């Protein structure tokens, strides 16, 4: 079974991938919208999600890591919207450092037959996605 930290980083990386690919579904009408409008809507949605996660955490219905996860997603979306490359770099570098540690742990668990190789590959792929995002910033 995966640790909650590994799941958090995998989910964060999946979110990053979705952000990088730029997948979005038009919900209001079929008219094409600008990237800026889509980014603004994403920030609004994530702001609501952070508020909900905080509310649930205050009631002990969610874990603090979940709040942190959504806050980081909001930070990334806001930085992208506002073109704050330095902030994106800082966030991605922090995420990369954490994923490197998770990857080491997953590999160690696999070598000790307490984890699966699939988990190692999942974390490795997530780390590579963050490295790609960092490379794109340069």
Structural tokens at position 4: 């909650």
User: What distance in Å separates the CA atoms of residue 82 and residue 60, rounded to the nearest whole number?
Assistant: 33
Whole-number pLDDT of residue 1: 42
Number of domains in the chain: 1
Range of the domain at 115: 4-17+34-137
Domain annotation covers residue 28: no
Whole-number pLDDT of residue 16: 56
- Check which CATH number belongs to the domain holding 40 and give it: 1.20.1440
Whole-number pLDDT of residue 138: 81
Domain annotation covers residue 92: yes
Domain annotation covers residue 75: yes
Query: Are the CB atoms for 122 and 77 separated by under 8 Å?
Result: no
Residue 125 burial class via C-beta count within 10 angstroms: exposed 0-12, middle 13-18, buried 19 and up = middle
Which residue carries 């954490």 as its tokens?
Answer: 98
Segments of the chain with pLDDT less than 70: 1-30
Tell if the pTM clears 0.75, that is, is over it.
Answer: no
Whole-number pLDDT of residue 62: 79
Whole-number pLDDT of residue 32: 85
Domain annotation covers residue 25: no
Whole-number pLDDT of residue 61: 87
Domain annotation covers residue 83: yes
- DSSP summary character for residue 33: -
Structural tokens at position 131: 């490295």
Domain annotation covers residue 29: no
Domain annotation covers residue 76: yes
Domain annotation covers residue 24: no
Whole-number pLDDT of residue 26: 47
């Amino acid at each position: 079974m995966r640790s909650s930290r590994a799941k958090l980083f995998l989910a964060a990386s999946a979110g990053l991938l979705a952000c990088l690919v730029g997948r979005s579904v038009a919900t209001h009408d079929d008219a094409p919208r600008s990237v800026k409008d889509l980014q603004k809507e994403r920030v609004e949605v994530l702001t609501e999600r952070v508020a909900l996660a905080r509310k649930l955490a205050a009631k002990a219905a969610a874990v603090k890591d979940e709040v942190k996860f959504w806050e980081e997603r909001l930070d990334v979306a806001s930085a992208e919207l506002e073109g704050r490359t330095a902030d994106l770099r800082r966030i991605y570098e922090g995420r990369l450092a954490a994923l490197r540690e998770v990857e080491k742990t997953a590999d160690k668990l696999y070598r000790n037959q307490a984890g699966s190789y699939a988990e190692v590959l999942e974390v490795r792929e997530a780390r590579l996605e963050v490295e790609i995002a960092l490379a794109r910033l340069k």
